[in-house]
Amino acid sequence: QVHLVESGGGVVQPGRSLRLSCVASGFTFKNFAMHWVRQAPGKGLEWVAVISSDGRSQYHADSVTGRFTISRDNSRNTVFLQMSSLRIEDAAVYFCARDASFLGTGGGFFEHWGQGAVVTVAS
Amino acid sequence: QSVLTQPPSASGTPGQMVTMSCSGDSGNIGSNYVHWYQVVPRMAPKLIIYKNNQRPSGVPDRFSASKSGSSASLTISGLRSEDEADYYCAGWDDRLNGWFFGGGTKLTVL
């Protein structure tokens, strides 16, 4: 049974940094691409970033490029989202999601989701 | 403005059938799969349709979907109160090199 548990959320001031983690279990982590998807209060789903199964390929949404970085540690079954220069509009629930493929691009999809981590950006 | 366009709302009464649309272009829906997600407040999103029209195990066959050209649709038949949720289409865009969700359709079961 696939299990994804996010952590690292909290309250942070604008301009500061935060790192989210997502620990995976119930499947062979190194075989699947992983995503971060967020949902701001009262808003829709927004894809943030994807990393391939081997970590060699990453894509980020334009809204976070240059500020957020996705990475993974296959030895610890964990995917990370390093967030810097945080803005008010980055406040959201951040979901970790497992892709159905190893690349995480057009041939895959968001197959399993975690419960989310809440990030609040406020002064 | 979202890359994928969905109507903001839909509604129906129990037992009815409701269809919601998702419109894109040749760079996303027109050349890649469409997937559909159900989002209930304070719950994790749930995959209900993948690769245009495939249902994951455990999703009732009341849920069906199709794709034609650069548009897709999700149909829920035999509407039930527990179907009340937000529904999002999603797809990869080859030109923008990213994933995109539609703005979501809020389904109300009257």
pLDDT at B5: 97
Residue A104 pLDDT > 80: yes
Task: State whether A45 and B37 contact (CB < 8 Å).
Answer: yes
B30 close to A (CB below 8 A): no
Contacts of B37 in chain A (CB under 8 A): 45, 110
Q: In which residue ranges of chain B is pLDDT below 50?
A: none
Contacts of B52 in chain A (CB under 8 A): none
- pLDDT tens digits along A6-53: 999 999 999 999 999 999 999 999 999 999 999 999 999 999 999 999
pLDDT at A123: 87
A46 close to B (CB below 8 A): yes
Instruction: Give the number of other Cβ atoms within 10 Å of residue A8's Cβ.
Output: 16
pLDDT at B24: 97
Tell me how far CA of residue B73 lies from CA of B3, B53, B88, in angstroms: 16, 9, 11
pLDDT at A91: 98
pLDDT level of residue A107 (50, 70, 90 thresholds): confident
Beta carbons of B84 and B23 less than 8 angstroms apart: no
Chain centre to alpha carbon of residue B51: 12
Interface of A with B in 96-115 (CB under 8 A): 97, 100, 105-107, 109-115
